[in-house]
Amino acid sequence: MSRLKVFFVPTNVSGVVFYRQWQPYLSLLRNSEIEPLIWWFKTNQIKLHPWESQILDKEIGPTIVRDLDRGCAWADIIIFMGLHTYESLDLLKKLKAAHDKKFIMEIDDYLFSIPRKNAAAEFYKPGSELTITGLEQMKISDGVVCSTPYLKELYAPFNENIKVVENVIDLSLWRKKVPPVIRQGVIIGWMGGGTHEEDLEFIREPMFRVLDKHKGVTFRIIHGIPESYKNHRRVTYTKSFKNVDKYPAWICKQKFDIGVAPLADNNFNRGKSNLRWLEYSAMKVPTVASNLPHFQTSIVHGKTGYIASTQEQWEHYLTLLIQDAELRKEIGNNAYEEVKNNWSLKSLGKKYQDVIKEFHNASPYETTTPNASFGVNQ
């Protein structure tokens, strides 16, 4: 029996493409039943993948169209990440009409309820090009792959054939040098972009109380820091940024002892994955995370991390970990083993193989317009 051919088409920034397409591609490379191909991915592409905005370019546009057409002709399953422009949506429709194949949409965020404080909210407001494009792509696709069960629930009104493939971690990229047994102080760490101000604001008061009570403790913020944190004497930060291929080694060098994963409670964040916990766990760093769906289902509270709902709980669990080095080691090791056994590239390959086969064997999807509408920004 011939192998099923899968064509991955990136549209996002390199970090998102890395987790949502590059790692699935790698996990399938040695698969006996699936032959994967990924088109035009660079690990230093920190802005949106350029092909969507270059379709109409007189020089490169025809090459883009030709390459995508050839890839679709070769493949049995074509997995497009979420599109961002009317031009790319029009091209998808033409490719879908020209090729009797299964076209799948890949998405890992909730497009229709971006919090107002998020820097992307203006671009994703109802009626914008991005929301119209995303919704239309979802309606015409033969299926959808998303990163969390909650996202599947949110998108269920728009497509009846949705599969969940969760993010995983490549442990070989996250080798952390073990610090000396005796080391001064404890470093609480967080890394992320500039769209998490509301998330970090929720833990600011308990974080400051912890820092004020424990003189040897530092809170280290990587990349995106709210103004309200900058003047505390034991908050250190850098606005530096590393491309996704250099990011794991760079984060390992920050020598976090505790990792925090705060998320404000809204529909957008409820759809977020447990990626921050995966990254901390790959470094054997214990995590305190917000009480949101994907953290709830992946973290065993008190064994592979801590779940905090209130500011008081944030302060309590941070204090527990600060005061007990053995507890930090135990939770970090437990989390590492859990990730190694259940959230690895190997486990992703098996899951993605099954999902691809399910899409391929499914009846053709009727692309009629579902009775659904946009959500409202929170």
Cα atoms in the Cβ-side hemisphere of radius 13 Å centred on 281:
31
What is the reported pLDDT for 338? 98
Residue 134's closest CA among 102, 110, 154?
A: 110
Stated pTM of the model: 0.90
Domains (range + CATH), the chain: 4-168+345-361 (3.40.50.2000), 171-342 (3.40.50.2000)
DSSP SS3 for 278: helix
Task: Give, to the nearest 10 degrees, the angle between helix 311-323 and helix 325-342.
Answer: 110
What is the reported pLDDT for 370? 41
What is the reported pLDDT for 127? 76
d(CA 145, CA 140) in angstroms, rounded, equals 14
Instruction: With beta carbons less than 8 A apart as the criterion, state whether 103 and 359 touch.
Output: no
Q: Which residues of 103-136 are buried (b: 16+ CB within 10 A; e: fewer)?
A: bbbbbbbbbbbbbeebeebeebbeebebbebbbb
* Predicted confidence pLDDT, tens digits, the chain (378 residues): 689 999 999 999 999 999 999 999 999 998 889 999 999 998 888 788 999 999 999 999 999 999 999 999 999 999 999 999 999 999 999 999 999 999 999 999 998 876 666 656 565 667 789 899 999 999 999 999 999 999 999 999 999 999 999 999 999 999 766 555 555 799 999 998 877 888 999 999 999 999 999 999 999 999 888 999 999 999 999 988 899 989 999 999 999 999 999 999 988 889 999 999 999 999 999 999 999 999 999 999 999 999 999 999 999 999 999 999 999 999 999 999 999 999 999 899 999 999 999 999 987 655 443 443 333 333
